[in-house]
A = this chain, B = another copy of it.
Amino acid sequence: MEITFDGQRVRAGVEARERFYDSRGYGRPRGGTLELAPVEAAHLLFRGDLDSVRDRREDRTLDFGAFLASTAVSEVSFLVYKELRDRGFYLSPVRDGPADTDCEFAVYPRGQGPWDDEVAYRVRAVSERESVPAGELRALVGRAAADGATGVLAVVDEESEVTYLELTEPTVTGETDHDLPGVAGRLLSDRVLVSDPPVALYERAFYGQQVNPDGLVQLSLVEAAYLADSGLLSLEDADDPGAVLRERGRAVEGDRFDRRLRTYSTLRTDGVVPKTGFKFGADFRTYAEVESVDQLGHSELLVRVLPAGHVFAPRDLALDVRLAHGVRKQMVFGLAGDSLVWLAAERLTP
């Protein structure tokens, strides 16, 4: 069986087509013959189904090690391809993504293959050292959705283990809605003290934190700015308390404050109560339905607020997703740019 490689594609004859495509979903038929992507050929070499491939450019034969060490195929793509094959999936590299190498795969439902119409996952393979812009993750989700599939980032760590992260653009809404009277506060250096709060402020609507049980509530700057913008908080000597609070917020947090306020306001407007996520290293944890603080349920989401153009380091993503999983919450990134976009990530075992 003569198998040749021209630097882009591996080509084989009709026998290979029957053995590899028809029965096991490798490659694409081209007329009667078979065209294999380099990552598919590497897997056949690895399994011993092929002994070697003849490189037509240099007229030499390449075994598995030599083929993998060449630039023909990325070891990261190979490791993801192999891992998914080991799990019993058939999959094909696709090249409508950001790169013209075999770094993205259409993974078929178990028991199906390239001759069927269904795609279960759209999987992008990256090394743990490769940063990924938020826009590329969103585009992956979009390409997956066009296939009726789930977008997945497969991260290969330095010891060649693969971690799968399922990506979605969720809707974040809740049922919380309270009527509140206005309150007067006093601005400290990075929080606001309300000396005479109505009971509903903390105990029903869950704004702030009680400094002592009979009154005296402190608000975070972001809570205070939202209440001021809603016309519900006044500050001594301030005609425009919202502006005063935003100015203070920017002074202590920079641009991040505006992104957090925007995210906070969107959540509150959509019926969700955000509280600090500090203990989880996040911006907020959220409650979709708060009737009263006494009957508070489990918070559902951890929210990290990021600029829309944020570039994710896979290791930070792994850290957030692992932590959220451990505390039974979903990790959601708020990408704040011209609009606010939610991107959720969670561990997947395909």
Chain A residues packing against B (C-beta within 8 Å): 46, 65, 68-69, 74-75, 82, 127-129, 155, 157-161, 163, 186-191, 193, 195, 208-209, 211-212, 218, 220-222, 252-253, 275-276, 278-282, 314-316, 318-320, 322-323, 326-327
- Main SS at interface, chain A: mixed
Of all chain B residues, the one with the shortest Cβ separation from A187 is B69
Q: Check A220 against B159 for contact (C-beta < 8 Å).
A: yes
Q: Check A275 against B323 for contact (C-beta < 8 Å).
A: no
Q: Check B158 against A278 for contact (C-beta < 8 Å).
A: yes
Q: Check A208 against B159 for contact (C-beta < 8 Å).
A: yes
Residues of chain B contacted by A65 (CB below 8 angstroms): 186, 193, 195
Count of this chain's copies in the oligomeric assembly: 2
- A216 to B212: give the CA distance in the assembly, Å: 64
Q: Check B188 against A318 for contact (C-beta < 8 Å).
A: no
Residues of chain B contacted by A314 (CB below 8 angstroms): 278
Q: Check B163 against A278 for contact (C-beta < 8 Å).
A: yes
Partner of A75, one of B163, B191, B208, B253: B191
8 residue pairs, one from A and one from B, having the closest CB atoms: A281-B319, A157-B278, A158-B220, A326-B326, A159-B276, A159-B209, A75-B188, A323-B323
Q: Check B191 against A158 for contact (C-beta < 8 Å).
A: yes
Known: A159-B275, A209-B160. A193 touches B68 (CB 8 A): yes
- A256 to B157: give the CA distance in the assembly, Å: 16
Instruction: Add 6 more A-B contacts to A65-B193, A323-B326 (CB < 8 A).
Output: A69-B187, A157-B278, A157-B279, A159-B275, A159-B278, A280-B319
